[in-house]
Structure 1
């Protein structure tokens, strides 16, 4: 980190991006620095959310139940004496066929869901790797400030990579029909959205591009869905220039 500032190692420590020597030194530092201890706790909570998604998969027990039903459902085999299938036979055959079709469909659903899960895990790992690269960049600097309504905004900027990692954790939701939104602001007052949080969300970590041109990073409270430009005064501002 820049100028060997041990306080700036929080993010790299959380993502296990330090050398053994750096990790040991930072652990000793944590024992006497309440600010860094809080920072680490906040970043660990946020890092745990990186792989969160909106997907869901059928419970594993469903597959077992389907195949168990297949094994229990029998159809009568016509005998030479009575070659014509009875109404009962037709009913049992229909049930068995339906169960088999359900089993095949369930198997296909599991395959699709597993593929989707693998894709999302791969994307989450790739995003975490990119964040780690910024946090461990030689020119990375860390700045943080409290939110006016409770919480904290932390910014790690790597000018050489033209990227920044923004971590926000609020004490409470933004309000009904409202959401938090992150911004990059240049010295001329121009604003670029760094992303609006989903309604009701109180924490997020964002990797943003074009960070080298930003002088200030800010958080505002906006209508649900976000705004193209800030519509309220920032509840937090971090100057990095």
Structure 2
């Protein structure tokens, strides 16, 4: 599914349909492409609603069946919240996405009072994987830093955030190095605010390596 023009894969990445290797390579492109970073931020509300619809719809329901009252209520609430926030919120979201993609000291300009990162850490006794997650609320969601010690590499891993409503977002992906205890450090972002997060999971090829319960809910 890999496109010769990486810009064309932004929709597939935002909707979570790229496989692990493709997502890993696209995120390398994302760090160097502000245009794609903006588009990923724009896709996130739609991807989140599709995830909610998939989880709320039984397998027996035809995919083109009419939406029920609960889904309509959720969609109306979401639209109302976005409209109340107005264009100012959207512009800050775009600016945050561009700054995150290109890096640099301008990140501090977008940080407001009370947005310092707080941390949670855990070690899985079965896999031996240790992880620490730091998160800070932003206008567009949560800015997240993660460090992982994984001596069972090399393997492709992801940090996944799970919301209290059951929805999931992949925060970042990386290649765990070959047999080392040195932590790997990554940065990412999620559309959820910290208070909406249930827990984090570090995964590899569908296997859960370590779970970190959110301390902010």
Which protein, 1 or 2, shows the higher relative CO under an 8 Å CA cutoff with sep ≥ 6? 2
- Scaled by the length of structure 2, the TM-score of the pair is 0.40
- Scaled by the length of structure 1, the TM-score of the pair is 0.37
More strand by share: 2
Rg comparison, structure with higher value: 1
